[in-house]
Amino acid sequence: MGRIVIWIIGLALLSIVYVAAIHFKADEIEYDLNDRSNLALVKNNISWADVAINGRDAVIKGLAPDLASIESAKTAIQSVWGIRIVECQCQVSNKTSDDISDQTSLKPTRSKEQKTALSGAQDKSADKPVPNTETLTTVDMNKENTTETNNDIAQCQDNIDDLLGKRTIEFDTGSSTISDESIPLLKELVAIIRNCPDKRIKIAGHTDNVGTAEKNITLSLDRAEAVTRYFTKNGIPANRLKAVGYGDSSPLVSNDTEEGRKRNRRIEFHITP
């Protein structure tokens, strides 16, 4: 009898260790996929998108410039080894009915019902969508809610872009210390973000091409995190902010001149739902 009890206790403990090991390994896999997915976005110069990993599935969010940019982001994430499904919860800038919500796809197939929805007709006899690949792309037909959400995001993004079109957040040379001259600009940005409640903001750091790529990635991330810290100290919830660094991978202009390098050293803000 005593041996049976010992065996039962041993099996129970072994089961607990096994489950804990699986859970730890799953977290490790998610972290790895998240790092490699974000790196894929960086390599493809996709700064508007944000990606979250759940198991082996990826969810892309962000305000895309156009539909082609969404396809580019999906393709980049799909190329990451280990990713199973890519879901895109993206919105298109200045669109009112392009709230894309899909279960991964590089080449989605639309059914009769989807084509009817896209053309604005109302064909109740259309077949239900049946994908012939792993992917299905659908369009949210709740026009009122979609329009309101898109307009809110687009307005917040426009307000920030207008402000940064005139001025730039400056840092001390080669460091992540925000210059005193940029504090008034940051205060204005805080005011704008406060008027965009419940919206998440990706703060993206960019550098010129002076120095190694590795150092530029680190510097750009440190600067983005410095801006994030300023925002949290001034009342913006940390769970609404995400700092990323792209180094010199996404220049606006050529780095051949000092003026060009100055333009490429920047902080960008991308609003997501």
Q: Residues with Cβ < 8 Å from 117, sequence gap 6 or more? A: 139, 141
CA angle 246, 86, 97 (to 5 degrees): 90
Specify which of 38-42, 57-61, 224-228 reaches the highest per-range mean pLDDT: 224-228
Q: What is the CATH number of the domain that holds 221?
A: 3.30.1330.60
Q: How many domains in the chain? A: 1
Instruction: Give the per-residue pLDDT at 151.
Output: 63
C-alpha distances (whole Å) from 247 to each of 2, 62, 207, 217, 244 are 64, 20, 5, 4, 9
Tokens for 234, please give them: 């001034």
Q: What pLDDT is stored for residue 148 in this prediction?
A: 52
Residue 19 forms part of a structural domain: no
Residue 88 lies in a domain: no
Q: Is the pLDDT of residue 170 over 80?
A: yes
On the question of pLDDT at 64 being above 90, the answer is no
| Residue 152 vs residue 138, higher pLDDT | 152
The pLDDT of residue 18: 65
209 is a domain residue: yes
Please report the DSSP string for 178-190 in residue order.
BPGGGHHHHHHHH
**Beta-bridge partner residues of 272:** 200
pTM: 0.56
The answer to whether residue 221 is domain-embedded is yes
| Locus of tokens 């504090």 | 183
What's the confidence (pLDDT) of residue 153?
82
Whether 111 and 125 have beta carbons less than 8 Å apart is answered as no
Pairing of strands 85-92, 57-64: parallel
Q: Is residue 198 part of a domain?
A: yes
Establish if 263 belongs to a structural domain: yes
Q: What is the mean pLDDT of the chain?
A: 77
Q: Quick one: average pLDDT of 27-35?
A: 80
Distance, in Å, from the CA atom of 164 to the CA atom of 160, rounded to the nearest integer, reads: 6
- 260 touches 253 (CB < 8 A): yes
**Among 221, 202, 213, CA closest to 255:** 213
DSSP string across 39-98: HHHHHTT--SEEEEEETTEEEEEEEESSHHHHHHHHHHHHTSTT--EEEEEEEETT-SS-
Q: ∠244-67-43 over CA atoms, to 5°?
A: 35
192 vs 106, more confident: 192
For residues 162-175, average pLDDT: 90
Query: How large is the average pLDDT for residues 52-77?
Result: 88
Instruction: Say what the pLDDT of residue 27 is.
Output: 72
Domain residue limits at 252: 143-273
Q: Which tokens go with 144?
A: 């009122």
Tell me the per-residue pLDDT of 72-105, one tens digit each, with 9 for 90 and over. Answer: 999 999 898 888 889 888 888 764 334 444 433 3
Q: Classify residue 215: in a domain, yes or no.
A: yes
Residue 85 lies inside a defined structural domain of this protein: no
- pLDDT above 60 (res 132): no
* pLDDT value at residue 66: 87
**Cα–Cα distance between 259 and 109 in angstroms, integer?**
46
Condensed to tens digits (0 to 9), the pLDDT of residues 233-256 reads: 999 999 999 999 999 998 999 999
